A and B are shown apart, each in its own frame.
Chain A
Amino acid sequence: MNLLAATPIPRDLPLPLPVPEWLLVVCLVVFFLVHILFVNLMVGGSLIVVALEWMGLKNKRWDALAHEVAQTITVNKSLAVVMGIGPLLCINLLYTMQWYSANALTGHAWLMIVPLVTVAFLLTYLHKYTWDMWTSGGKKTLHQLTGLGAALLFLFIPLIFLANVNLMLFPNEWEKVKGFFSSLSIGNVLPRYLHFMAASVAMTGLFLAGWFGRRSADLSHLDGFTRPELRRLFYKVCAYVTLAQFVLGPLLLFTLPAAGITNELYVIIFSGAAVGLLTVWVLFGELKRDDSRIGSRYWLIVALFSIVVLGMGSGRHVYRQAALAPHQAEIKERTERYAAALAEFNKNLAAAPAPTEQTAEQLFMNCAACHAPKVKLVGPSLTEIAQIYAGNPDGIVAWAKAPGKKRPELPQMPPFAHLGDASLRKIAELMLEKGQAAK
């Protein structure tokens, strides 16, 4: 019960969703998968490039291959960023109260995304465009370090997003969070991270098998490789890493906090895993084929993977939906309660008799913060004013409407023309009266 009491139930923004919820959910799931595919290719690509370039120190053909893979990263990274906007838009709308709260709680890291990604991108370009110059110019180590720097950034940045996606699911834990690093101990960030990283390498493997395997691929820079050889190589990367997912996937599933676990989730995930098993079987079957036939089932494998990924993406959403359903309901209730109280108050306010004209004393409250009877607060005292404007209330009115600057030691008075001549006149008379009395 104590734990429940600590769950924040904020009020939602009083504006309706601009589109039906189900449509936003479909957009979120689909667009997110498109985004994450390009992120996978960017992250996995940069890791593979680092590995291949290192292998290239012994045998030049690997260096050439690394260079070719590097060409794809800069395009994939641009698409990864731009494709991220849609899902971010959807998640902002569907989970406004949870998403922004997670952002704020990990705020410094969230803000660091901007410079970190920028630097990672610049390093990626530097790595790509200095390849020949630095390799032949004796700066190979520097070149490798540039690639490694980008890869390390790409290894770290996803953790920030994962921390947010994870933290938003558990509002009852928010009170424990003190900054980004402490948010990593909530939920199951690490298994999620490992699952994502493995997917990045596997997806990049599959992509590169198709990229270099396609008939129109220009392999003129890759003397040391034949097309079937490249297909086989990247198929292997994809196959073995995907095999590892059968350990990492269950690890993720069984470390998920109970909050959103439902039978529906198990059905979706295990169906996805079953198709995954089939995919791996087809993939290993493909690897056994000889050079003339390897690659002919590429699109079948891509289709099977798409089904798996769509299943896992849907499962992910089903978990989120279930985990946050009670919180969403409580927010809705609190928001409605607040709206009702507010409407009631405003109704009574409108029904109340129109406020009578303000008295001079009430109007003077506009001035009292700066003008006191005897002492100089911000502006001159009332006794002083009464001396200057004795018998001349209109002089005060004129000044208050367009004040100048007479005293260098005091801040300039702001204009009060908005109060209207009649009210200003009332104030002026009261000021003179008070100033006389205080003498």
Chain B
Amino acid sequence: MDFPSFYMDHLAGGRLIIGLIASLHVLINHPLAVGAYPLLTWMEWWAHKNNRPDIDQLAYRITFIVFIVTTTVGAMTGVGIWLSTSLFAPFAIGSLLRVFFWGWFLEWFVFIAEVVLICWWFLSWKKADTPEKKKKHIKIGVALSIMSWLTMALIVAVLGFMMKPGEWNQTRAFLDAMTNPLYAPQLGFRTFFALMTAAVFIWFSAFFFTKTTSVGDDRPRRLRRWIVYRMSHVVLVSLVGVLLFGTWYWNNIPETMKANSSVALLTQDFMSWHGQFQSLLGWTVIAFVIIGLGGLSDLFTMPRWALLIPSFMGIWLLGHFERAREFMRKPWVIGEYMYSNGIHKDELAFLQSEGLLKHATYVKHREVTDANKVECGKDVFMLACSRCHSTTGLNSVLDKFTAMYGGDKPWDPTGMTLFIKGMHQTRTYMPPFPGNEKEAEALVAYILQLREKPETLHGAQTEGIVIAPPIKQSNLAATAER
């Protein structure tokens, strides 16, 4: 990666921050935007058709929550994914922007439409006081629902592409990336998941707006009954979709792993995950089924807290889903094109032969000597490892070697060097070491010093940058001739 390295040591480079921002964004986007807009529009339409101002009022109040949350935290976490990725993986986002320019450009226009429509829809709600105006107002809601689904449909293409670029590696064409093999199942899964969780969200928030205010007035209770009955239908129907698309998606993953991985093999970590996900999916489905069926019943009212159970399980499931998506991408950040540390597939052998430091810009030295070994190792760590590992914090290299060589014994530098050079064979989710022999030794020297004297590694945002003198012209000519 030929950019100054932004790095937060204790957070495994800062990847965790992208993860947190992205998860928060998805958790707002799916239930509160993609899923909620169509359901709320439907409520507005139903209220208009059956002359039920109480239902209209309820839809308006829930839309207020949706409006506030989506136009603040929702919008900013969306931008935040981009801003944080620009810091942690500029090589990846920079490449994706060049490949997916039209997709993103289109996404931008759809996104503008979505923002304009949500402002228009919510802020003009109370002004639609005649049947004609109301009809027009409902149409704004319909347009909004379509636009918000479209933003998701476009961005899912990018996500799917990063996992399995399909034909793109040969053709570098935008449409090929868009029709990658995981696209349809992922989009279907997310759509139904959004509707299902939105129904639970509307159901849950309806409790706050349907409190009984005076004894004998059972209108709030009947309104609550109305919404619960309908939302439980939505939960049950969407659940079928979630299950179908989830299974389709999940069955595609092992094959994708095989296709993406240079070795036809699933790692142990992944196998155990696969099992975990299946049982989690099972329990989540059961939780939603119980809620859905309970909502249909006239005999009792589902207590409010009960809705939190499937909600939290849904969050957990979605988290797992996103984590698996990230995991199966490894060792690539763009499948078969760029490794997770920003090294291109076609430059790997070159760098292994020439050395990583020689062609880097933001390093202290270009050649490893006995005197600068540890300093070189630090730069190698920053270039080759720091996008996933920390020195002493989360997912730290020290922990990894402690697990292998033990915490109480001395570590053998020769064995460690051997391991680093061959680790992509035993840890197939890790990219191959992209430097020469001396740089592998320098990295080991740095890790061993870290073990002796654990020290936080600072990124460019606090330490600034160091630039080694450029390679001498004569050396370069020699390289070109060779």
Contact = CB atoms under 8 A, between A and B. Distances in A.
Partners in one complex: yes
Interface of A: 5-11, 13-19, 74-75, 78-79, 81-86, 88-89, 92-93, 96-97, 100-101, 103-108, 110-111, 113-114, 117-118, 121-122, 125, 174-180, 337-338, 340-342, 344-346, 348-349, 365-366, 368-370, 372, 377-378, 411-412, 414-419
Interface string B466-482: 11011000001001101
Contacts of B21: 114
B346 A342 contact: yes
A28 to B, nearest CB: 13
B72 A340 contact: no
Given A78-B75, A121-B76, 4 more contacts: A13-B91, A108-B462, A377-B405, A419-B425
Contact of B465 (A8, A349, A415): A8
B404 A174 contact: no
Contact of A107 (B362, B461, B482): B461
Query: 7 shortest A-B CB distances, which residue pairs?
Result: A107-B461, A369-B419, A418-B263, A18-B101, A100-B90, A114-B80, A10-B2
B482 A344 contact: yes
Interface string B347-362: 1011001100001011
Decide if the interface of chain A is mainly helix, strand, loop or mixed. helix
A98 B189 CA distance: 39
Contact of B3 (A17, A78, A100, A349): A100
A237 B461 CA distance: 40
Given A16-B98, A103-B87, A106-B461, A118 B72 contact: yes
Contact of B462 (A8, A110, A179, A369): A179
Nearest to A338: B359
Given A104-B5, A344-B480, A88 B82 contact: yes
Contacts of B84: 111, 114
B111 interface: yes
Contact of B94 (A6, A13, A75, A175): A13
A94 B266 CA distance: 40
B386 to A, nearest CB: 12
Contacts of B17: 111
Q: How large is the interface on B (under 10, 10 to 19, 20 to 34, 35 or more residues)?
A: 35 or more
19 contacts: A10-B361, A18-B99, A82-B112, A85-B111, A86-B105, A93-B97, A103-B86, A113-B80, A114-B79, A114-B80, A122-B68, A175-B467, A178-B462, A179-B464, A180-B461, A341-B480, A416-B426, A418-B263, A418-B265
A374 to B, nearest CB: 13
Interface in B325-355: 344, 346-347, 349-350, 353-354
A125 B87 CA distance: 30
Contacts of A366: 422, 425-426
Interface stretch (B158-166, B221-229, B238-246, B410-418): B410-418
A105 B461 contact: yes
Nearest to B459: A107
B252 interface: no
Interface of B: 2-6, 17, 21, 68, 71-73, 75-77, 79-80, 82-84, 86-87, 90-91, 93-95, 97-99, 101-102, 104-105, 108, 111-112, 115-116, 118-119, 123, 263-265, 267-268, 344, 346-347, 349-350, 353-354, 359, 361-362, 403-405, 412, 415-416, 418-419, 421-423, 425-428, 459-467, 469-470, 476, 479-480, 482
B346 to A, nearest CB: 6
Which interface residue of A103, A175, A365 has the most chain B CB atoms within 10 A? A103
Contacts of A17: 98
A369 B412 CA distance: 9
A108 B464 CA distance: 12
Decide if the interface of chain B is mainly helix, strand, loop or mixed. helix
A81 B72 CA distance: 10
A9 B361 contact: yes
A82 B480 contact: no
A91 to B, nearest CB: 11
Contacts of A89: 97, 101, 104-105, 108
Contacts of A82: 75, 108, 111-112, 115
B79 A85 contact: yes
Contacts of A419: 425
Contact of A103 (B6, B99, B347, B350): B6
Given A9-B470, A16-B98, A349-B349, A79 B115 contact: yes
Contact of A370 (B123, B419, B470, B482): B419
Given A82-B75, A82-B112, A85-B108, A345 B350 contact: yes
B405 A104 contact: no
Contacts of B476: 337, 341
Given A114-B79, A366-B425, A125 B98 contact: no
Contacts of A105: 4, 460-461, 464-465
Given A105-B4, A342-B350, A412-B268, A8 B467 contact: yes
Contacts of A337: 476, 480
A84 B427 CA distance: 41
A136 to B, nearest CB: 21
A2 to B, nearest CB: 11
Contacts of B73: 118, 122
Contacts of B263: 418
Contacts of B79: 81, 84-85, 114
Contacts of A340: 480
B161 to A, nearest CB: 14
A79 B415 CA distance: 57
Contact of B72 (A79, A125, A412): A125
A414 B265 CA distance: 10
B465 A175 contact: yes
B404 A107 contact: no
Contacts of B425: 366, 416, 418-419
A110 B105 CA distance: 23
Contact of B83 (A113, A338, A342): A113
A27 to B, nearest CB: 9
Contacts of A7: 467
A6 B467 CA distance: 6
A79 B113 CA distance: 10
B364 to A, nearest CB: 12
A9 B129 CA distance: 63
Contact of A415 (B2, B77, B105, B265): B265
A175 B469 CA distance: 13
B348 to A, nearest CB: 10
A414 B83 CA distance: 37
B153 to A, nearest CB: 17
A117 to B, nearest CB: 5
